[in-house]
Each structure stands twice: as structure tokens, then as C-alpha cells.
Amino acid sequence: MILYDYILSPSCYKLRLLASLLDVPLELRAVDFHPGREHKGAALLALNPAGCLPILVDGDLVLTESAAILAYLAAQSGPNWLADGDPQAIALQQQWLSFSHRLAEALGGARLVEMLHFDGDLEALQSDGIAALRELEAALFTRRIAGGTFLVGDMPSIADIACFPYVALAPDGSISLDPYPSIRLWMRALRSLPGFIEMPGIHRLHELAPDPFAKDLS
């Protein structure tokens, strides 16, 4: 499987993250998203006429929506990451996948304005992002009171992976996560999963996970 990838994209990162958690090999094709705008070039527009990333190619199959790619990876290699068979869990997972688009538009949009100087109303994006974070905090608090850690069920799912990067990178859009203790605990739980990988701005729990590049000095 080939993933057309931009290292700073949370939408691409979530796919790299799930693939790592599931031990699924991906062939990464780096795309010069900024400043080169390679994703708007003829070659990539032929794969995704929407002119955006990510793009996953697996044989003759081309997928261009991150939620669909998450579901595809999980269905192939980690069905326990899908809410399979339980109508309530299926509906909740789909609801959080839709919610992740709101996070992408608001938190991701604020980050693009702040970091890459894209056009946009920063204050409006930050306001929408804070509203979404408050909604997520309330849901995770309710889950925590009931003894749960993740968004759906007793295990992490593609719903958590879909939402996580935009939330973790909110400070890049000048939105603090300090007011959201349930969100910070949820992020800690995800960052402690075996196979967790980093991206610029999102780090693993160094006190829990060994440095994969450290030399054995014993």
C-alpha cells in the first residue's frame, strides 16, 4: 500500500499512526504540500480530483478520505478497532468520525493560518475549535465517570485515531489544552499504546516508551 503523505498533515499522520499500531507496512510517498503545492499538480489530481491529501493506493483501489482509509486499514488488519456488530457502537463511531471533520476544519484551520500563513479568520476558527474541544471534554468526562477511557467501547477505535491529531496539535493554532483534563488523560492513554509513533508537534510518552533509536549500552 502506498500513502501519499505530508509529514506535517494530521490527516496523513492519523493513517501512519493506525498503520503503526496495527503493524501494517506502508510505502510513504512524500508530497511537497507546502510550499510546492504538489497535491494540486496533474499527477496527484489524477488520483484525487479534490486536490488534497491523504491518498492511499492499494493495487487498483484509490482512497482519498481519511475516515475511509482508517476503516480500510482496520478491516484488513485490526477488526477490533471497528465497532462491528453493535448498532449503538457503530452509530457512535460514525458520529465521532463526522466530529473529526469539525476538528479538522476548526483546529486544523487555525493551525494552517498560524503555521503556514493560509488565509482564514483565525479568531473564528479558534472560537469554533474551543467549542469543539468543550464538547469533546464533556463526552470524555462522562466516559471517565462511567469507567471508560476511549470514545467508543472499552478499547481504542478508529474514532479515537480520527480525532486525536487535531486535538493534540491545537496549541499550534494558539489554542491551549490546559482547561481540558479529560482530553489530556485520553491523549495520554493513546500515546501510551504499543506502536505509537510521533509526528512534529506530537510526542510519545518518553517515560513509558523506550526511544526506538537508542543504542543498547548494556
User: Hunting for cell 464538547 — which residue is that?
Assistant: 135
How many angstroms separate the CA atoms of 158 and 92, rounded? Answer: 11
Q: How high is the pLDDT of residue 178?
A: 96
Task: Answer yes or no: is 217 within a domain.
Answer: no
Q: The C-alpha cell of 92 is what?
A: 457512535
- Asked if residue 19 and residue 54 are part of one domain, the reply reads yes
Contact 15, 2 (CB under 8 A): no
Residue 208 has pLDDT above 90, yes or no: no
pLDDT for the residue 78:
92
pLDDT of residue 211: 52
Structural domains in the chain (count): 2
Segment 189-209 shows an average pLDDT of 86
* Contact in structure between 162 and 100 (CB atoms under 8 Å): yes
CA atoms within 13 A on the CB side of 202: 25
CATH number at residue 128: 1.20.1050.10
Q: Of 5-9, 81-85, 207-211, which gets the smallest average pLDDT?
A: 207-211
With 0.85 as the threshold, say if the pTM is over it. yes
β-pairing, 2-5 vs 55-58, is antiparallel
- Is residue 1 within 8 A of residue 72, CB to CB? The reply is no
Evaluate whether residue 182 is within a structural domain.
yes
Within this chain, do residues 90 and 181 fall inside the same structural domain, yes or no? Answer: yes
Assess whether 75 and 87 both reside in one domain. no
> Which cell is 9 given?
498533515
Does residue 186 share a domain with residue 124? yes
113 in a structural domain = yes
pLDDT tens-digit map of 111-128: 999 988 888 999 999 999
Please indicate, yes or no, if residue 140 is contained in any of the structural domains.
yes
33 inside domain: yes
Residues 74 and 126 in one domain: no
Kindly state whether residues 69 and 92 are assigned to the same domain.
no
The residue segments making up the domain with residue 12 are 2-80
pLDDT confidence band for 214 (50 / 70 / 90): low
Q: What is the pLDDT of residues 138-188, one digit of tens each?
A: 999 999 999 999 999 889 999 999 999 999 999 999 999 999 999 999 999
First-last CA distance in the chain = 37
User: Where is pLDDT greater, at 39 or 68?
Assistant: 68
The least confident of 4-13, 154-163, 206-215 is 206-215
Residues 42 and 88 in one domain: no
pLDDT band at 217 (very low <50, low <70, confident <90, very high): very low
Residues 24 and 52 in one domain: yes
Same domain, 28 and 109: no
